Structure 1
Amino acid sequence: MPTATQSLSHTSVADLTASVLRGDYGDDPAQLHAVGAFWVRQSTQFPGTDTKYRNYYLVLRVESGFGGCCVERDQLDSVIAEELSGRSVAELLRDERTPVRIAALDAYLSLVRPHREAARAQVFMLPHGTPLQRAKARDQAIASLLRIEPGMRVGLIGVVNPLVDAIRAHGGICLPCDFNMQRTADGTEVAKDMAPVLAQADLVIATGMTLSNGSFDEILAATRARNIPLIVYAQTGSAIVPRFLGDGVAAVSAEPFPFSQFSADPTPIHLYRAEGFVAGDARVAA
């Protein structure tokens, strides 16, 4: 049985889930239960802007582990939080609803492979501060994983405007893709179809929400086939994505629950880099 310092190779999220159900990660998921289920509906709008971010989360607690999955507005009914507690992790991993499976897998892996025990993870503390200060620090942490050369085409699947700015500041060409955005803050048109982005990009940055909408496997397969780096910034699936590190994923900014927007106190982000992957400077000014 692999230890926390050993890794298994997986072709997809479904393959990882099957591995967990076989017991490859230790604790039997049939003997663990979701003792808590939460539905969170949250919005953010910073002063002086007209952009309102709307987020919807399913969060499951399994013993000391939490698993989070951000979903689209109508993807799940909020009553789900009243239904899922008490069910075994094994049952939840077989649920027909993708976000339920992702939240359960994330909770299980956060329990058996906690970030604090990961040799490759660098702890990056977000400072105490306002929502905007903490959001900027978080985006800077993600940007620290990037090494963008002038003229490099960077696919951004799940648009975060500070990352658009960071890509351009380094001379990169941003190829933004998002289901819920028409244009970036600087007016760049945002694509709905990620296939052309994946075909053109020299490097791809994706959000963990690609797990909840089922597109993560397609992105992973495309970047593997083209042998280009994939960097993931993950609230959703923060314990899942590191399982693909060095096997299609070059770097991860993993932010476990409770997420930065739910606290003003210092909270950790865990930065992972695959062996041999060189990125930028991970320091953040206080």
Structure 2
Amino acid sequence: MTLPAATAIKPELSNGHQAPIAPADVAALTEAVLRGDYGPNPDGLHAVGAFWVRQSTQFPGTDTKYRNYYLVLRVESGFGGCCVERDQLDSVIAEELSGRSVAELLRDARTPVRVAALDAYLSLVRPHREAAEAQVLMLPHGTPLERARARDEAIAGLLKIEPGMRVGLIGVVNPLVAAIQAQGGICLPCDFNLQRTQDGTEVVRDMRPVLAQADLVIATGMTLSNGSFDQILASVRARGIPLIVYAQTGSAIVPRFLGHGVAAVSAEPFPFSQFSADPTPIHLYRAVGAGDARAAA
């Protein structure tokens, strides 16, 4: 799949105001939102809805079961999603968070709450549908596996993977492993919850060796919820290698780092593709000059 390169994030917004300076990390982005750099004061916005979702997927003919746990917040017309580990939050949180101001949630001691609130706020003030730098791709009507394959082929096609290129995959989904290998890449998988990929490749838990060896890194947005996103961002910046993020978690957060450590993003806002068989959009971002993985570095 060939995708047109996106333009860089514009230095001036459509309302004539200057765009905020690219953040150094997630904490800096959060502080900028709390200052009002991105739009309305978050003190005046509230989470009108809070949802807790438990979901599992197992594709026919496989013995791998993916278990997902989501915290979703609604702020006016914006939704923010954060996938968490099984015991990271109690489901009762969905009953506690509605009615609270976004500013309060952005200061919450729990990382997933802050991430969901930040994502909801940014999805409201920076909706993907208004992003000139994003290409919309409609996932086709079909089975879960058909839709997952279409999504993961698009992710792997965001940057050109050269044969023999070592691709660090932080957050393993087997169709994405296959998509990387189909382009001739050598997949270096890392995940907390899997021991081997479907083709038998060992999956490591420690991402540091993967980050040290990879020529290109593909990471899930769930790295936001476990706190490793900033570490990944620092590593790829220091090494000068490209980073692709496939984001259900933080789909509105990660594009804020485009061209500043993140080379490309597959952003999939709530409701996520696995909740429907009908065509649904993903929003594909690429930084200027990021069509080739080596050039993007």
TM-score, length-normalised on structure 1?
A: 0.95
The answer (yes or no) to whether the contact 1:7–1:243 under 8 Å persists in 2 is: no
Q: Partner residue of 1:173?
A: 186
The answer (yes or no) to whether the contact 1:182–1:190 under 8 Å persists in 2 is: yes
Q: Where does the alignment leave 5 or more consecutive residues of structure 1 unmatched?
A: 281-286
Q: Partner residue of 2:150?
A: 137
**For residues 241-261 of structure 1, what are the alpha-carbon distances to aligned partners after superposition, in whole Å with 9 as ceiling and x for unaligned?**
000000000000000000001
Matched, 1:109 2:122: yes
Alignment of 1:189-200 (within 5 A): 189-200=202-213
Matched, 1:214 2:224: no
Q: Per-residue deviation at 1:266?
A: 1.2
2: CA distance, partners of 1:279 / 1:261: 30
Q: Partner residue of 1:283?
A: none
The answer (yes or no) to whether the contact 2:149–2:176 under 8 Å persists in 1 is: no
1:34 match: secondary structure:
coil
The answer (yes or no) to whether the contact 2:20–2:37 under 8 Å persists in 1 is: no
Q: Per-residue deviation at 1:48?
A: 1.8
1:138 match: secondary structure:
helix
Q: Per-residue deviation at 1:166?
A: 2.0
2:260 match: secondary structure:
coil
Q: Where does the alignment leave 5 or more consecutive residues of structure 2 unmatched?
A: 1-10
1:18 match: secondary structure:
helix
> Which one of the candidate residues 93, 96, 100 is aligned to 2:109?
96
The answer (yes or no) to whether the contact 1:41–1:57 under 8 Å persists in 2 is: yes
The answer (yes or no) to whether the contact 1:2–1:24 under 8 Å persists in 2 is: no
Quick one: which amino acid aligns to residue 41 of structure 1? R
Quick one: which amino acid aligns to residue 3 of structure 1? L
Matched, 1:85 2:95: no
> Kindly tell me: are residues 277 and 67 of structure 1, through their superposed partners in 2, closer, same or farther at Cα, counting changes over 3 Å?
same
TM-score, length-normalised on structure 2?
A: 0.91
Alignment of 1:1-286 (within 5 A): 3=13, 6-278=19-291
Quick one: which amino acid aligns to residue 247 of structure 2? A
Quick one: which amino acid aligns to residue 231 of structure 2? E
Q: Percent identity between the aligned chains?
A: 84
Please list every run of at least 4 consecutive aligned residues from structure 1 whose deviation after the TM superposition is greater than 3 angstroms: 4-7
**For residues 203-228 of structure 1, what are the alpha-carbon distances to aligned partners after superposition, in whole Å with 9 as ceiling and x for unaligned?**
00000000000000000000001110
RMSD across aligned C-alpha pairs, in angstroms? 1.5
Q: Partner residue of 1:284?
A: none
Q: Per-residue deviation at 1:169?
A: 2.1
1:3 match: secondary structure:
coil
1:10 match: secondary structure:
coil
Moved more, 20-29 or 168-177: 168-177
Q: Partner residue of 2:3?
A: none
Q: Per-residue deviation at 1:229?
A: 0.2
Quick one: which amino acid aligns to residue 13 of structure 2? T
